[in-house]
Amino acid sequence: MNSTAAPQNELQQNDGTTTIDEEQITLAYLKKHPEFFNQHTSLVADLSVPHSSGSAVSLIERQVDILREQNNQQKTQLAELIDIARDNEQSNQRIHKLTLALLDCHGIDACEVVLDEVLGSDFSVDAVALKLFIEPQAEQPEHLFVASGTVLAQELDKLLNLRKPVCGYFKTLPMDMLFEDKASSITSLAILPLFVEKNNCFGALVLGSNNIRRFNADMGTVFLERLGETLSHILNRFIK
């Protein structure tokens, strides 16, 4: 007489008895039927899930622990975003203050003074150099103008080729021509191109820091770009 095959959800034991297949409720099944525990709420309270510590806890307790961990992570991320937003707001306020001060200037030399004072006090910049690639203007300090063909003009031209702020430390730049007595302590730079039309870069604003990590190649340059654009349009009034 042929034996009858055991049902798919049962396992035949040696003594002829059957047991429920423990794999009938698989991960795939639960994923396909997420409402399962909603329909069997009494079962949820009795389930136990091994904890990382080795002790058994109810599924509900484990879920609460997971939700608590996720909540703590989200709180940390939110705090970081708030800090970033606060820093950005402060930077916007400082840029606004600098813009108003520059708008009150009546010459290139006055702009240089404002840049040196405000960038030093509000942005903690250790050295500021404003250099223009144009013919010297009457009654303006000679050190603001860089003659074409000089080492400084050539090296700055290479760095400003993309018309974007660049950050880091550039060994080929003659630091003494930029910062004079402050040159030896500068370890990082931010170089901002000055232009209204991209094919006419008329100068550069160079910011120096004694902190080697202050201006690095991986940092964002949004505020530097805004500063460069603002200064370019203000200075353009005096060099036409």
Q: Which domains does the chain have, with CATH numbers?
A: 105-239 (3.30.450.40)
Global confidence as pTM: 0.67
Residue 210 Cα distances to 79, 91, 179, angstroms: 30, 20, 12
Q: Would you state the pLDDT for residue 57? A: 60
Amino acid in the structure at residue 54: G
Q: How many CB atoms lie within 10 A of CB 117?
A: 13
The pair of three-digit structure tokens given for residue 146, joined into one six-digit string: 């860089």
Do 30 and 40 touch, CB atoms closer than 8 A? no
Helix residue ranges, H only, the chain: 27-32, 36-39, 41-46, 59-103, 108-122, 151-159, 175-179, 222-239
Is the pLDDT at 56 greater than 60? The verdict is no
Distance, C-alpha 171 to centroid of its chain: 26
Q: Which residues contact 137 (CB under 8 A, 6 or more apart)?
A: 108, 145, 238, 239
198-208 pLDDT, tens per residue?
889 999 999 99
162-174 pLDDT, tens per residue?
999 999 999 999 9
Per-chain mean pLDDT for the chain: 84
Q: Mean per-residue pLDDT for 26-42?
A: 72
Is the pLDDT at 110 greater than 50? The verdict is yes
Amino acid in the structure at residue 44: V
Confidence band, pLDDT 50/70/90 cuts, at residue 107: very high
Strand partners, 18: 12
Q: Would you state the pLDDT for residue 53? A: 54
Q: How many CB atoms lie within 10 A of CB 20?
A: 10
What is the distance between the alpha carbons of residues 238 and 240, in angstroms, rounded to a whole number? 6
Do 185 and 210 touch, CB atoms closer than 8 A? yes
